Amino acid sequence: MAAAGAVTGSLCAPAPVRNAALIAGSAGAVAGFIDDHGESRLPAAKGLAGHLKLLGEGRVSTGVVKIAVIGAGAGLAASLLSRRPRDVAVRAVGIAATANLINLLDLRPGRAHKAVALGSALVTPGGSPQLTAALLGAVAGTVRDDLARETMLGDLGANALGAVLGTALTAHPSRLVRTLGAGAAVGLVLVSEKVSFSRVIDTNPVLRAIDGWGR
């Protein structure tokens, strides 16, 4: 539901942002579906390093498939937003990293929803109001059931929301916002290889309180 809401809501945005969000969000949803349903068929691994290690051994994990699908979607989406190679690269990295980051945060009820809402608010000034509305609408429509543990975003929902959020970030007219946002997303993904987000949140009173809202 969250993925469908975010991707469908993107239809209201003007081109090329609309097309970029549709491609990135759909790629995130497909990659998430593969991860949600393919773990019994493909080797399992933990973290980016674990998936790349398996690939080095000649084995393909669901994580590697996700990297390929999300990466391809992010690259195509970014090419619709810019024709300059360096700018395309930054945008593609921003979309892919944000999709991965939101998925990494989907470990507790409502956490990924709150991250998407916060991210949407941060890129709203000067950004695409249509993508913001699509994301906030998807969050509002699904967060209650997630907090109540009746449903889960799963990889499908988290990756799709993250990819659309990444598109909203990288479609921002400010190069500084795009670059800082992409850098922050990449940095947090890399930090997650060594640091547990849940442990950091649980040991910080403010973050713990925010994380617990609505449960």
Mean pLDDT of the chain: 90
How many domains, in total, are found in the chain?
Answer: 1
At 5 the pLDDT is 93
Residue 152: per-residue pLDDT: 86
Say how far apart CA 203 and CA 209 lie, in whole Å.
Answer: 10
What's residue 134's pLDDT? 96
End-to-end Cα, the chain, rounded Å: 20
- Quickly list H helices, the chain: 2-9, 17-38, 47-56, 62-81, 85-105, 111-123, 129-147, 154-170, 175-191, 197-203, 205-212
Of the candidates 127, 116, 182, the one whose C-alpha atom is nearest the C-alpha of residue 13 is 127
List pLDDT tens digits, range 132-164. 999 999 999 999 999 998 988 989 999 999 999
What are the backbone dihedrals phi and psi of residue 126, each rounded to the nearest 5 degrees, phi first? 85, -10
Domain range enclosing 139: 2-212
pLDDT of amino acid 36? 75
pLDDT digits (tens, 9 = 90+) for 21-52: 999 999 999 999 987 776 656 555 666 666 56
What is the mean pLDDT of the segment spanning 80-99? Answer: 96
